[in-house]
Each structure stands twice: as structure tokens, then as C-alpha cells.
Amino acid sequence: MAQARKGPSAPSGGNQKTIVLLAVAALLVLGWFLFRGDSTQSLQDSMNMTPERSLQDWYGMARTRWGLSGPSDKDAQGRTMAHYAAIDCIIDVLNDLKGRGADLMAVDHEGRTPFDLVPAAPRYGPGGVPLPDGNEPVREWLAANGGR
């Protein structure tokens, strides 16, 4: 009597652990290549983005995500681009908005200014990279530039 032919067998427990470890190692190496360098390097710099390109991308996101097309526009919550730049901790955008005449003391429907919306703790992106400028420098910038 002929035996039924078996297909390839599933990896054994030891092989599965090896595959998982290799996959984790590959992800760590990829993360290192994407986010290597000085720990103060911004996410934008690690992605080789110029400041002009970063601003264009951010303004594009503001148009599509929040429906804001100018520095004084408000969304359904009464927030301006300055509110969202403060939430995202991006001084370059706040500085550009100030140059475009944005009101850094604009109040949303809950009575909060951009300063009030800066996260209490630092925010982090992929790989634990701080988003882009950190919360304390943004608070200091807003305070020094009439946003508090």
C-alpha cells in the first residue's frame, strides 16, 4: 500500500522562534537606519525633508484634515492652524504662521489658546523620536512671541 505524500511541514517551535527573532532584528536595523543620528535631530531632518517642503506638507495636511486654508481660518472646534501647530510641537510652522499674521492668542470654543494645547509631556513618533521640537521649547517660543 502506497503512503500518502505529505507536503512541507510547518516550522517547528525552534524554527518559529528563530524566524520571529530575525524579523525583530530586521525591524530594529531598519529603524536604526531611518532614525539614526543625533538624538536632538528632528523627524523632518531624519527623513531628509527641507524646511520648505515640511511647511508645504504641513499646510496641505491642515487643508485636508481640518479644512483650514489660511492662518485665521477656524475649524468646527474653533481651532486655528496655530492651535494644531502647538499640538504638534512644530516651531517652524508657528514661526511661519506668525509671519503670515496668525493670531497666537486665538481662542477655540473651549476657551483654549495654542499655548494651552501644547502637550504637557513630550510627544514621540516612530522609533521613539521626539516630535519635532518638543513641548517645552514650543511653550517658550509661544511665550516669547506673544502667544501667552
The DSSP secondary structure of 73-124, one letter per residue, reads: ---TTS--HHHHHHHHT-HHHHHHHHHTT--TT---TTS--HHHHS-SS--B
Question: Could you say which DSSP state residue 2 is in?
Answer: P
Residue 13 covered by a domain: no
What whole-number distance in Å separates Cα of residue 99 and Cα of residue 88?
19
Average per-residue pLDDT for the chain: 75
**pLDDT of 70-97, one tens digit each?**
999 999 999 999 999 888 888 888 999 9
Query: Model-level pTM greater than 0.75?
Result: no
Q: What are the residues facing 124 on neighbouring strands?
A: 130
Residue 123 covered by a domain: yes
Residue 55 covered by a domain: yes
Residue 40 covered by a domain: no
Structure confidence at residue 26 (pLDDT): 73
Q: Residue 111's pLDDT band (boundaries 50, 70, 90)? A: very high
Mean pLDDT of 41-65: 66
Domain at 72, CATH number:
1.25.40.20
φ/ψ of residue 130, rounded to 5: -60, 140
Residue of 48, 130, 126, 29 whose CA lies nearest to 89: 130
Chain-centroid distance of CA 67 in Å reads 19
Mean pLDDT of 27-35: 61
Print the domain residue range for 117: 45-144
Residue 136 covered by a domain: yes
Residue 8 covered by a domain: no
Residue 140 covered by a domain: yes
Q: How many domains in the chain? A: 1
Q: Residue 48's pLDDT band (boundaries 50, 70, 90)? A: very low
- Cβ neighbourhood burial of 9 (10 Å; 0-12, 13-18, 19+): exposed
Residue 129 has pLDDT above 90, yes or no: no
